[in-house]
Amino acid sequence: MAGALSGAVIVWIFPEYRADQYCRDRTVSAQRDSILDIAGGRGWWTCTRGEESEVSSVLTPLSTFRERFGASRLLIGVLHVGALPGTPRACDSIGMLIRRTADEAQVYRDAGFPAVVIENMHDRPYLKGRVGPEITAAMTAIASEVKRQSGLVLGVQVLAGANREALAIAHACDADFVRVEGFAFAHVADEGLIESCAGELLRYRRALGADRVQVFADIKKKHSAHAITADVSLEETARAAEFFLADAVIVTGIATGVEASGEDVNAVAGAVSIPVLIGSGVTPTNVARFAGAHGYIVGSAMKQGGHWSNPLDRGAVGAMARAFAALDDLS
């Protein structure tokens, strides 16, 4: 930003910031030009189509989310894929893993869930920031069949912090988003030090031509120590993820199945102009307390006995879908 003083008049010249605008049609060439809004500190974005660079609409991150997913809120059921080849607890064939995961996706779809996310949580203990080609191949096969059979909005997460692999899988199987950890700042997880991946990940996305795959970034994520960023607030972490071009941020509790703080969710929602999702602890009985969020990733509460490693509980899945639908009455 440059300023020129002439008498009592100050002229401010704002630089042009460029970021990716993810348009719905894969064939659309999209560009986002953000010009800082003096009053609110927020940006506005324009989407241009093709080589003609004609402005077709003015989109904010929230309106882009609504356009992409067909609603202002998204309910996402977690598919905890069985232990994959080469991991300590692997015992099932790829064919069996595909059938079981696709069947669970069908349970979510039948209940009215619009979206699912596949996750390799049974692969513990997790590698840090990478997985082998056998995991990438298996997850691609599973995700592709889930997408083909269910037709649901599909996300991919590969633990722990194997975000490039998740993005490659999502691109290959026409998935819609990836859930990533360690997007901005660093933290200490069970697996060790996880460092920021935003710069590398988004360049990889551009190199793949996978701009349509949205990045949902965990901030101050669960199962992690954040002492090294203790002087950085949750809100500032969310702002950093937004500045680094995350498409949405995810707020969690301290562990799997632990409810997020309502105050944290509200604080983050007030700090950023991108969608805010809740990534742990959402249940049919508490979802109304988080009616201001834009998405809910539900896993443990959908399982028998409320434990993530158990089979799905059809009754809990149905109750969650009904509670989610009732949020429209609170709007």
Longest dimension (CA), the chain: 77
> What pLDDT does 14 receive?
38
The two structure tokens encoding residue 225:
């120590």
For residue 314, pLDDT beyond 90: yes
Residue 214 and residue 248 in contact, taking contact as beta carbons nearer than 8 Å? yes
> What pLDDT does 149 receive?
98
CA distances from 232 to 33, 264, 266 (A): 28, 14, 17
**How many percent of the chain have pLDDT more than 70?**
82
CA atoms within 13 A on the CB side of 147: 20
Alpha-carbon Rg for the chain in angstroms: 20
Task: Give burial (CB, 10 Å; 0-12/13-18/19+) of 309.
Answer: middle
Per residue in 123-178, pLDDT (tens digit) is 999 999 999 999 999 999 999 999 999 999 999 999 999 999 999 999 999 999 99
**How many percent of the chain have pLDDT more than 90?**
74
> What pLDDT does 253 receive?
86
> What pLDDT does 222 receive?
66
Q: Which of 17-21, 50-54, 276-280 has the highest mean pLDDT?
A: 276-280
Q: What is the DSSP string of 113-181?
A: --EEEEE-GGGPSPPSS---HHHHHHHHHHHHHHHHHH--EEEEE-TTT-HHHHHHHHHHTT--EEEES
Place of tokens 């995350």: 246
CA dihedral in degrees (300, 304, 306, 310; nearest 10)? Answer: -50
State the Cα–Cα distance between residues 20 and 18, nearest whole angstrom.
Answer: 7
Task: Give burial (CB, 10 Å; 0-12/13-18/19+) of 46.
Answer: middle
Residue 185 and residue 224 in contact, taking contact as beta carbons nearer than 8 Å? no
Estimate the crossing angle of helix 133-150 against helix 163-172, to 10 degrees: 40
Name the pLDDT band for 5 (thresholds 50, 70, 90): very low
Reduce the DSSP state of residue 16 to 3 states and report it. Answer: coil
State the Cα–Cα distance between residues 30 and 20, nearest whole angstrom.
Answer: 7
Residue 293 and residue 265 in contact, taking contact as beta carbons nearer than 8 Å? yes
> What pLDDT does 255 receive?
74
> What pLDDT does 329 receive?
77
State the Cα–Cα distance between residues 108 and 101, nearest whole angstrom.
Answer: 11
> What pLDDT does 331 receive?
61
> What pLDDT does 133 receive?
98
Per residue in 55-108, pLDDT (tens digit) is 445 789 999 999 999 999 999 999 999 999 999 999 999 999 999 999 999 999
Name the pLDDT band for 31 (thresholds 50, 70, 90): very low
Span of 8-12, 242-246, 261-265 with lowest mean pLDDT: 8-12
> What pLDDT does 57 receive?
53
Residue 163 and residue 180 in contact, taking contact as beta carbons nearer than 8 Å? yes
